Structure 1
Amino acid sequence: MNVISAVKAYVVKMTSESEPGMKILLMDKETTSVISMVYGQSEIQQKEVYLLERIDSANFPNSTGLRYLKCLVFVRPTQQNVTALCNELRNPKYGAYYIYFSNIIAKADIKILAEHDEHEVVKEVQEFYMDYLAVNPHLFSLGISSCLSSLSWNPPALQRTVQGLVSVLLSLKKCPVIRYQANSSVCKDLGTRIEEIISKESSLFAFSQTNNCLLLILDRRDDPITPLLNQWTYQAMVHELLTINNNRVSLSDINGIPKELSEVVLSVEQDAFYAKNIFMNYGEIGTNIKELMDHFQAKAKSHQKIESIADMKNFVESYPQFKKLSGNVTKHVTVVGELSAMVNKFDLLDVSEVEQEISSQNNDHHGHLQGVKKLINSERTRDSDVAKLVMLYALRYQNYNNNDLIGLVELIKRRSVPGRFLKNIVNIIEYAGSHARQSDLFNAENAVKITKRFIKGLSGVDNVYTQHKPLLNETLEDLVKGRLKEQLYPYLGNRGSGRQQDVVVFIVGGATYEESLTVHSINRNNPNFNVLLGGTTIHNSTSFLQEVDQATRNVPRKYTRYIRNIQFD
């Protein structure tokens, strides 16, 4: 199950099924993102696509007299897009239209399009199931920044999530057995809606038994720790410190950045170095960047002597690769340089060490409390990191009789931190405190687990900055071993036959790149299993806290009433 391959196969089919000749590709905002995640503009143009247009742009249509061009239409099956297509077909600008919807289109809408095709320019209408963002081969996102309101589904977000997940399943040709997190009504609601679609569209899901899979629906509220932590693998670290938005990273706020590097593309499909290093840790990245630079310098030196026509010819033939390599070197040196500067400026190694101790170590309340206080009193610690440390402490020691959460809140108030950070502390407990979690997130460990951790520590494989394992790791290990408890993750409807070794995990409330690393490791260590991870979005700590804020608006303070005298901005 490879979502990038699935999307690319549809794009190849879409651009090759029409008659040969120059084409225009007409998209909407969402489908433009879908395509750009897996193809660069130059790659699309190599498929005889002359021009890219947006159907939802105020400037469309901005061309006339292009009847010699064929128009490939790739849009979501929304009412707005159907209306725009009807208007276009009344007065067609192009000679032929090949219409591809990214998801299931209502038969009534197809009839409306047919009625407006008075010039008979529509040659084809098909459903190509690409209604999601393919991030990594085993990771997808629906690009929904906030899905809950008052801790229940926001109705448009639920509809969009159902559509996106149905599209993923159809693109992979999978008919799922559905399991969901038992204590989560939003997981059950989503699973029920998907089951209804599968039943209604049974002909679309009429795959063979070998195409069965497990769809496991989880709730972000069960693991609020993972999105709060600083990260130390390349992809996750870039997202946490610089933010990745549809494979793009803005560097425009960095002093001295040249214009051509104000925004860089980090794509596993278009950047071999990035693809190779997304799961490498901070130290390894620096070593690999040095090797990339050495390779570039060696290559540059080899082209300094051009003494013949043959030398020139060889240079010209290899120049595109040479130019691409030089661009990659500059890009990654710039990105890693900025990461390094932020790590040093804000003492992120010290911050991360305390984060990891709180989230991963055995109960050491006094040590954890002193570690948080020390960083609160440091001028180099960012307000955001101070607030996240207090959130981690609050989540871990919420039910500890002698916790000093009120004292920590008073301490950070003396720093004059913005009110939104104090509000975050309250929100995170209301959103994902112990009352909301079904799992024992901090492992009130049994003797076997404690022994395993002790032995692991002695062997020296633990890295102080990467001790934490997402809750998803334990869930997937239980699943692989056939130990995932049915009372905690019940089935919805058909249980299927046998064991499903293809697994689609979907997290309501957003996944993270640390969890993507977990899935990568599970797949590598269990070759008989193929796990795919998706989420309503891909979070860093900033976007996660924004999601928490949206989800808890208008929710009365039930579990944090004891934290008084907090003034919010």
Structure 2
Amino acid sequence: MAEESGPGMKVLLLDKQTTSIISMVYSQSEILQKEVYLFERLDVPGSIEPMKHLKCIVFVRPTKDNVGLLCNEIRNPRYGMYYIYFSNIISKSDIKTIAECDEIEVVREVAEFYGDYLSVSPHLFSLNINGCYQGTQWNPVHLQRSVQGIVSVLLSLKKCPFIRYQSGSDMAKRLADKIREVVTKEEVLFDFRHSEVPPMLLILDRRFDPITPLLTQWTYQAMVHELLTISNNRVNMSHVPGVSKELSEVVLSSEHDEFYAENLYNNYGEIGQTTKELINEFQKKAKSHQKVESIQDMKQFVESYPHFKKMSGTVSKHLMIIGELSNLVGKRNLLEVSEVEQEIACQDQHSHHLHRVRALIGNQKIRNEEAARLVMLYALKYRRHSSHDISGLVDGLRKRGAPESLYTMVKSICNFAFQEDTSSSANLVNQEAMVKITKRFFKDLKGVENVYTQHVPALKEVIEDLIRGRLKENVYPFLGNPPSGRRVQDIFVFIIGGITYEESLCVHLLNKSTIHGGARIVAGGTTVHNTESFIDEVSRAMSRGAARSYN
């Protein structure tokens, strides 16, 4: 976009969503290098003073509100000329409306630039949507946004896929239908050179695996999101005692932080070691260039060398994050909690698990949130077991003083996971598939860490079956006629109700694997969940579902 507008000083005019989209992949300094010196929001009143010497690059979502605001901007232009880019398909009528407002001909170009999603990593995208469920149906606004986001991903990567969806989920079927409608209507846009092996879009419903989002995470990226929350690559650290102003909010981007890029999939035990190596490297480089004898010398040295200043910032940032993670792990007794979570998810020992969950509910060192999560996992695993004691465990939560909102979530999450749509007689959650008894460990993990990472998301098996042509058509039917061959290479997976960083790691490892014939997988979801956001999603889904049934 910056190149199309040619040389000269520029202003970038965005909306709230495209500001997040751009910030995920570009740093401010990178944008400055493209002669963009001013950032404005279309939906926030900016400077009244005209700056006719500036070219204006507009990058906004093609919404009715944005078209209206853009018309106001063009009627009374603040800048010399406008290059307008929409993040998705825009209607001809909206283009006509904009053209009619351009009375003094300041608009030089109008184009579609398909970037209507947040690019979290090279294989992961998100739409930042929370609360897409209304019982077992879509929130209509979020359905439309999901269609737009997936269509934008496909157009940006120039793919026109066959579509498969999860049977038993009316939401997955509706989303598949809506995407096909757009592809059919915009067949000229989707007229790409056909590859020998056609791409595949697989649409899943989070209810196919409600266990993965409930587990404590132990790889760096997932752990930061679980305990501190990553929002648009930013982590709020203002709650940490004694934190400096510069570190009250930190950016974690694999594009711009080499240490983070190299370690985001490493487990908790390895992170401490790699951080120590980072500090040693920093000290070694510092000593090799200049003798540092005092703190003041060090300060002057760091300020003198931009590379070391950047390295110093990296060391400070990750030391603070890892220190806070360590603090929270100890304070919340997460090692003990996680061990039981993993046992429930990966083994089948009902009486042993019931005994351990009871013991942890009675342990006042465990937070109410962790105690409730263990009961949720137990209920999901053993709700059909003849000797289950879900009500007894819920009573235990009540007696220990857990808030009602937490212990009522046990019933809500079971209703969420095992609810069937009237549109299909197929059971939405296959219990055996969801909590497969597995003792598989990541081979590269060492020591006790593997106890906490033995769980493998259900998504891994689904994708492997798809690659091998073994994914059952009665469980994951095609929309329309299936392709003649069964081999797939370019795979898009979208999870309604959110994806997790554990599943992102699983996709990353599948992409790196050589045993799958070079399959390329891109995964996305309505959002990227941690436990807290997932429980909130379930809570809202069930409350809206209840409201629907009583009306």
Bin the TM-score by the shorter chain: over 0.9
Instruction: Quote the residue 1:501 is aligned against.
Output: 489
Q: Which secondary structure state, in structure 2, belongs to the residue aligned with residue 51 of structure 1? A: strand
Which residue of 317, 327, 345 corresponds with 1:359? 345
Instruction: Quote the residue 2:452 is aligned against.
Output: 465
Tell me if the contact between 2:457 and 2:503 (Cα under 8 Å) persists in the aligned partners: yes
- Aligned partners of 1:555, 1:197: CA distance in 2, in Å? 28
Q: Summarize the Cα distance change of 1:441–1:460 in structure 2 as closer, same or farther, 3 Å threshold.
A: farther
Q: Which secondary structure state, in structure 2, belongs to the residue aligned with residue 100 of structure 1? A: strand
Deviations 1:54-74 (A, max 9, x none): 0111x32x1423101000000
- Aligned partners of 2:32, 2:3: CA distance in 1, in Å? 13
- Aligned partners of 2:399, 2:435: CA distance in 1, in Å? 36
Instruction: Quote the residue 2:140 is aligned against.
Output: 155
Shift of 1:50: 0.9
Instruction: Quote the residue 1:245 is aligned against.
Output: 231
1:286 maps to amino acid: G
Shift of 1:494: 4.3
Aligned 1:97-108 pairs, distance under 5 A: 97-108=82-93
Matched, 1:279 2:280: no
Matched, 1:336 2:322: yes
Shift of 1:357: 0.4
Tell me if the contact between 1:37 and 1:247 (Cα under 8 Å) persists in the aligned partners: yes
- Aligned partners of 2:364, 2:193: CA distance in 1, in Å? 61
Matched, 1:172 2:157: yes
- Aligned partners of 1:454, 1:146: CA distance in 2, in Å? 34
Tell me if the contact between 1:150 and 1:551 (Cα under 8 Å) persists in the aligned partners: yes
Aligned-pair identity in percent equals: 57
Shift of 1:440: 3.4
Shift of 1:302: 2.2
Which residue of 354, 358, 383 corresponds with 1:398? 383
Shift of 1:110: 0.3
Aligned 1:387-466 pairs, distance under 5 A: 387-433=372-418, 438-443=428-433, 463-466=450-453
Shift of 1:555: 3.4
Q: Which secondary structure state, in structure 2, belongs to the residue aligned with residue 552 of structure 1? A: helix
Shift of 1:419: 1.2
Instruction: Quote the residue 2:371 is aligned against.
Output: 386
Aligned 1:526-541 pairs, distance under 5 A: 526-541=516-531
Which residue of 173, 190, 194 corresponds with 1:188? 173
Matched, 1:486 2:473: yes
Shift of 1:143: 0.6
Matched, 1:258 2:248: no
- Aligned partners of 2:289, 2:50: CA distance in 1, in Å? 47
Shift of 1:209: 1.1
- Aligned partners of 1:455, 1:277: CA distance in 2, in Å? 16
- Aligned partners of 2:419, 2:79: CA distance in 1, in Å? 59
Which residue of 118, 122, 125 corresponds with 1:137? 122
Instruction: Quote the residue 1:562 is aligned against.
Output: none
| Deviates further, 469-478 or 69-78 | 469-478
Shift of 1:479: 1.4
Q: Which runs of 5+ in 1 are unaligned?
A: 1-13, 307-314, 558-569
- Aligned partners of 2:76, 2:416: CA distance in 1, in Å? 52
Query: Under a length normalisation based on structure 1, what TM-score does the superposition of the two structures give?
Result: 0.89
Shift of 1:433: 2.9
Instruction: Quote the residue 1:7 is aligned against.
Output: none
Q: Which secondary structure state, in structure 2, belongs to the residue aligned with residue 485 of structure 1? A: coil
2:337 maps to amino acid: V
Tell me if the contact between 1:360 and 1:442 (Cα under 8 Å) persists in the aligned partners: no
- Aligned partners of 1:114, 1:397: CA distance in 2, in Å? 62
Shift of 1:317: 11
- Aligned partners of 1:272, 1:217: CA distance in 2, in Å? 33
Q: Which secondary structure state, in structure 2, belongs to the residue aligned with residue 516 of structure 1? A: helix
Q: Which secondary structure state, in structure 2, belongs to the residue aligned with residue 359 of structure 1? A: helix
- Aligned partners of 1:255, 1:453: CA distance in 2, in Å? 40
Tell me if the contact between 2:118 and 2:126 (Cα under 8 Å) persists in the aligned partners: yes
Instruction: Quote the residue 2:462 is aligned against.
Output: 475
Shift of 1:426: 1.6
Instruction: Quote the residue 1:516 is aligned against.
Output: 504
2:5 maps to amino acid: S
Instruction: Quote the residue 1:30 is aligned against.
Output: 17
2:108 maps to amino acid: K
Shift of 1:500: 2.5
Q: Summarize the Cα distance change of 1:445–1:219 in structure 2 as closer, same or farther, 3 Å threshold.
A: closer
Deviations 1:76-105 (A, max 9, x none): 000111001110111111110000000000
1:517 maps to amino acid: L
Q: Which secondary structure state, in structure 1, belongs to the residue aligned with residue 415 of structure 2? A: helix
Q: Which secondary structure state, in structure 1, belongs to the residue aligned with residue 111 of structure 2? A: strand
Tell me if the contact between 1:512 and 1:538 (Cα under 8 Å) persists in the aligned partners: yes
Tell me if the contact between 2:441 and 2:453 (Cα under 8 Å) persists in the aligned partners: no
- Aligned partners of 1:289, 1:183: CA distance in 2, in Å? 46
Tell me if the contact between 2:467 and 2:488 (Cα under 8 Å) persists in the aligned partners: no
- Aligned partners of 2:254, 2:391: CA distance in 1, in Å? 45
1:534 maps to amino acid: G
2:360 maps to amino acid: L
Q: Which runs of 5+ in 2 are unaligned?
A: 293-300, 422-426
2:334 maps to amino acid: L
- Aligned partners of 2:24, 2:441: CA distance in 1, in Å? 43
Q: Summarize the Cα distance change of 1:490–1:337 in structure 2 as closer, same or farther, 3 Å threshold.
A: same
2:508 maps to amino acid: H
Aligned-residue Cα RMSD (Å) equals: 2.2
Tell me if the contact between 1:70 and 1:94 (Cα under 8 Å) persists in the aligned partners: yes
Q: Which secondary structure state, in structure 1, belongs to the residue aligned with residue 71 of structure 2? A: helix
- Aligned partners of 1:273, 1:112: CA distance in 2, in Å? 48
Q: Summarize the Cα distance change of 1:455–1:128 in structure 2 as closer, same or farther, 3 Å threshold.
A: closer
Tell me if the contact between 2:440 and 2:454 (Cα under 8 Å) persists in the aligned partners: no
